[in-house]
Amino acid sequence: MVLADELAKQQRSISVAEFFEKNKHLLGFDSPTRGVITTIKEAVDNALDACEEAQVLPDIFISIKKVSNDIFRIIVEDNGPGIVPAQVPFVFGKLLYGSRFHQIRQTRGQQGIGISAAVLYAQLTSGVPTIIISRTGAKESAHKFEIQIKIETNEPDIISQQPFEWDRIHGTRVQIEFKSTMTAKKKLLEYLKYTSIVNPHARFRVELDDEAFTFERVSQEVITCPLAVKPHPHGIEFGQLKRMAVASDLKPVDFLMENFSRVGKKTAQDMCDKSGLKATVKKMSGLSADQLKALLAAMQEVTVPPPLTTQCLSPIGEELIRRGLDKEFQMDFVTARTRPASVFSGHSFVVEAAIGYGGKLPAEGNAIILRFANRVPLMYQQGACAITSCIASVNWKLYNISQQGLPTGPILILVHVASTNVPFTSESKDAIASIPEIEKEIVLALQDLGRDLKLFVSRRDKSKVAEDRARAVCAIIPEIAAKVSEIVEKPLVDTTPIEGKLMRKLIAKKSTRDGKVTIELSNYTGHEGEISVYDISPDNAADAIPKADFVSEMDGQFTKVWKAKVPPQTAWRVTYAGKGGGMLEIRGIEDNKKMVVDLDV
């Protein structure tokens, strides 16, 4: 048995750090390009979670600089509560170490792997220790650490530790250097953009080599931090129940009430009765494996209300989703839905969705799909995600949207799944697994939004038809009058009253003739209030008569605003030298009482 002896000598335990050193692709570090996005994602997730727990508005600084040919320095700094110095080495230098894994509540990070995996990746590719600066309060001094990971033991290797002068009152700063490229710069900016949409209370300042970007917050309200709840009886498994029972000296009824959510005395007694446990049983630790299995089966049979989602979940909310999308995308229409809370396998979850349409969204190609889990963008493996399959399963043609598998055209679809336990397909947390309960809620949310979108599209089409008719009336009738006047050799008749009788609205006409732009308002309604005329075009209208009340310029486009009073049955006109084009908008009167016609189109 020499071979067996030789094999026995080679066998040894494998540390967690060793495993992920060889399988870093499982954590999202499968390439240098993706490594920079994964690192920033993990650091930003930790920063946002920490700020929410401290009940402060997140102010996060991100810096990415190239320090040599292929080595990049990543800095992420937050204004969170900071980390106690004794815990810093373990948080950053030990895989599977964290505070949220055993808590049943919505959090971005859960496993205690993410940021320490980034430290490990930096150690593998550059060999440079990760630098952490943290401070917990104004009365405490900041501490600076240089940390790596001991691969063989999965323990932190503290290269240096010392007090540090830092201008922040509280917060954490992480500096990581590793081998990477910036070919995914566009993807990185998309990640930050999408993160700002679903975290409207946060502000992100980004320095990317010589460029600077800021994603401002749109809400000044601090998010209520979700509270941890006890496990639900319908989400428990035998091994977990056995481990809990061995450590308990309580009676079965008291054990069930003490350790599980939504279990009262009557429910606990029903579970014990169904499992056949006798009143003589004094301690849970004394139950046999068969008795525990019988109790587990009874726990699944007895009806128990779902967990209290108001405590353990923190959905974004319809209003903040709309505001976040409006901040980053220019669209003609946007609406959002937050579905009622639901449960899968004892885990609470809420599905939120939004749809945007038109504006500056690409008119061709598939819809823009934004996927989120616990307020974190899912940037990869779109095809493997349950969200994508749900979007494809909806018959969008019922809502007047073209479809080739996925919906096509100028449409944006956002889906956010908030849960105490998001069922990801892998440790890299790129895609959500196909869970029937979650898929059902996503489809219902999308169908609800589809009905709103159909109503908008049909109204827009009707408005377009009415506008085309108005353009025809305003363009053809004056030409007919001119021809008739020429034939009968009579003075030209003013056709404006005819237009008014046909339209019965405030008609705004814009035309360009011989280098002169004319905007004319004719009021055929009873409206007597002030009208605001917004004219956006490359023309500055410096010689306008009358002068514009306000002029601003951005990217070569001038926004001119006139405040005009147009009493019923009267007209108002402005002229200026220019080439025309652009956009004309009238404010101060209801949409159904106005018609804007560009005669140059």
Architecture of domain 320-457: 2-Layer Sandwich (3.30)
Region of poorest pLDDT, from 56-70, 260-274, 412-426, 474-488: 474-488
- For range 413-427, the mean pLDDT: 89
pLDDT score for 503: 64
> How many CA atoms lie less than 13 Å away from 294 in the CB half-sphere?
14
Structure tokens at 547: 């002068």
What is residue 318's three-state secondary structure? helix
- For range 235-250, the mean pLDDT: 84
With CA atoms as reference, report the closest residue to 334 among 370, 295, 376.
Answer: 370
pLDDT score for 392: 93
Instruction: Give the amino acid at 16.
Output: V
Domain 494-598 matching CATH 2.60.40.3120: the answer reads: no
Query: What are the start and end residues of each CATH 1.10.8.50 domain in the chain?
Result: 233-301
With CA atoms as reference, report the closest residue to 78 among 104, 108, 105.
Answer: 108
* CA-to-CA dists, residue 317 to 55, 114, 335, angstroms: 18, 27, 11
Structure tokens at 472: 């025809």
Query: Which element (helix H / strand E) includes 241?
Result: helix 238-246
| Interatomic CA distance for residues 544 and 518, integer angstroms | 10
What is residue 10's three-state secondary structure? helix
| Interatomic CA distance for residues 376 and 199, integer angstroms | 9
- Are the C-beta atoms of 168 and 135 separated by less than 8 Å? yes
Q: pLDDT for 470-507, tens place per residue?
A: 666 666 777 777 788 788 877 877 666 666 666 678 88
With CA atoms as reference, report the closest residue to 118 among 41, 19, 18, 206.
Answer: 41
| Interatomic CA distance for residues 252 and 464, integer angstroms | 69
Query: What are the start and end residues of each CATH 3.30.565.10 domain in the chain?
Result: 16-215
> How many CA atoms lie less than 13 Å away from 476 in the CB half-sphere?
6
* CA-to-CA dists, residue 273 to 54, 245, 253, 269, angstroms: 44, 18, 10, 6
Q: Residue 375 — left, alpha, or beta (φ > 0 → left; ψ -120 to 50 → alpha)?
A: left
With CA atoms as reference, report the closest residue to 307 among 251, 244, 350.
Answer: 350
pLDDT score for 355: 95
Q: What DSSP string runs through 512-543?
A: EETTEEEEEEEE-SS--SEEEEEEEES---TT
| Interatomic CA distance for residues 36 and 189, integer angstroms | 12
| Interatomic CA distance for residues 323 and 198, integer angstroms | 10
- For range 412-417, the mean pLDDT: 95
* CA-to-CA dists, residue 561 to 32, 512, 549, 551, angstroms: 50, 18, 6, 7
Sign of CA dihedral 288, 293, 294, 298: positive
Q: pLDDT for 3-32, tens place per residue?
A: 777 767 676 666 666 665 666 666 667 777
Query: Which element (helix H / strand E) includes 560?
Result: strand 557-565
Superfamily of 16-215 according to CATH:
Histidine kinase-like ATPase, C-terminal domain (3.30.565.10)
Sign of CA dihedral 372, 378, 381, 383: positive
Cβ atoms within 10 Å, residue 1: 7
- Are the C-beta atoms of 339 and 348 separated by less than 8 Å? no
- For range 196-203, the mean pLDDT: 91
Structure tokens at 373: 């889990």
Cβ atoms within 10 Å, residue 569: 12
Region of poorest pLDDT, from 273-282, 385-394, 549-558: 273-282
Structure tokens at 187: 């993807």
Q: pLDDT for 423-451, tens place per residue?
A: 888 877 889 999 999 999 999 999 999 99
- Are the C-beta atoms of 156 and 89 separated by less than 8 Å? yes
Sign of CA dihedral 22, 26, 31, 34: negative
Query: What are the start and end residues of each CATH 2.60.40.2960 domain in the chain?
Result: 494-598
| Interatomic CA distance for residues 471 and 467, integer angstroms | 6
Instruction: Give the amino acid at 145.
Output: F
Q: pLDDT for 509-524, tens place per residue?
A: 888 988 999 998 888 8
**End-to-end alpha-carbon separation of the chain, Å?**
91
CATH tag for 233-301 (out of 2.40.50.140, 1.10.10.10, 1.10.3720.10, 1.10.8.50): 1.10.8.50
